[in-house]
Structures are given as C-alpha cells and as structure tokens.
Copies of this chain bind each other. A is one copy, B any other.
Amino acid sequence: MAEPENDSLFEAPPLAEQERMVEAILFATAEPVTVRDLTGRMPHGCDPAAALAHLRKRYEGRGVQLVRIDNAWAFRTAGDLGFLMQKETVETRKLSRAAIETLAIIAYHQPVTRAEIEEIRGVSVSRGTIDQLIELEWVRLGRRRMTPGRPVTFVVTQGFLDHFGLENARDLPGLKELRAAGLLENRPPPGSVLDDQDPEEDDGDQGDMFEDDA
C-alpha cells in the first residue's frame, strides 16, 4: 500500500517511472484525465506534464495515440485504424417470392414495363421489389417503350446472367421445357398457399399486395 503522506520525504520517482504511471492511469481510467488529476494521483513531486510529453512521443505512430481533449488526456485508437473497430457480418437471405417472380418475368419477357409485370403476375408490383432487384444489379432500366406515356422498361443485367450461370436470357427454358422437366406438375389448388418453398412468405400472392402498404 502506498502511503502518500510519506512520499514527500522521498524524492520523486524518476521520469521513466512517472511515464509508466501516467500510462497506467490513462489506460485504466474510464474518462480523459486532467494534469491536475494526475498530479493528485501520482506520488508527491511528480511532473505529469513532462511525463505526458514523453509518453505522447512514445506513442507517435503507434496503433493508439495519446491525445488531448480539452485539458484532459486519453488514449485513442489511431485515426487510420478506425476500420478495425467495425465487424462486418454478411447475412445471406433468400430472395422473397415477390422478387423472384418479378425477376423471372423480367428475364423471360424483357424488355418489360411495370404494367406488363403486373399484368403477368396478376398483382401490383411494389416499387421496393424492383428497387431491390436494381440494387442487386440483376435488373436495370431498358429503353423506354414507344407507346403512350413512354413507360420505362426493365431488362436483366450481365450480373444476373453471371449469378444464374446463363450465357443469355434466351437460354432460360421455355414453358414446354419447364413442364418436361417436371417443374410445372404441381398445380396448387386455387386459393391455397402455392407451395412451401419459401416459408417466410406463406401468405402467398396476397403478401405481395401489401408491399405497397409497407
């Protein structure tokens, strides 16, 4: 145990030792520490200002820096290493059924307008769904249709082809081939949940309609 009242009888610790003390105090204290605080905590006769100056130099270029905040001192991560304080996690999620269907329609019918997509799906397509596909860089805007209102069209991108391993959107199997491949066999009863390949969206078609509301 330290006995502060006796310290004055001894000489102040050597500067190197004072530097260690300042280092330890600044490291362990929960907030920046003023020189005055340091003086109060260190043995009598210490010169925290000198120790701070040495310590600051010692940490120059290191991963942490001794910085002055107002008239207090603290260690802080070097500015260029801030990126280490982030932890990135990538979460993989399955694309929603609405998005898959919209994407499929664009792929099979490109260039296609939003009205046409809605026509085919039989439900309105939310802005968010197409935005999501554009953000994924699987869909982009095509040329405007030369019909009244000059609606924009959507087409699939090279990124889409790469992701799905296609040379060309025309390589997508047609309905006949889909049927031949057994992909069309399970006709769901009307009004029921179509199939359970996407458990998150078990409200089926109707779920899509509310995307506009969301």
Q: Which residues of A contact B (CB under 8 A)?
A: 1-2, 4, 19-25, 27-30, 40-42, 61-64, 75, 77-78, 81, 83-85, 87-88
Contact = CB atoms under 8 A, between A and B. Distances in A.
Contact of A29 (B1, B62, B83, B88): B88
Contacts of A25: 63, 84-85
Copies in the complex: 2
15 contacts: A2-B84, A4-B88, A20-B62, A23-B62, A23-B63, A23-B64, A27-B27, A27-B64, A27-B75, A28-B84, A28-B85, A28-B88, A29-B88, A30-B88, A41-B84
A84 B29 CA distance: 11
B64 A24 contact: yes
A59 to B, nearest CB: 9
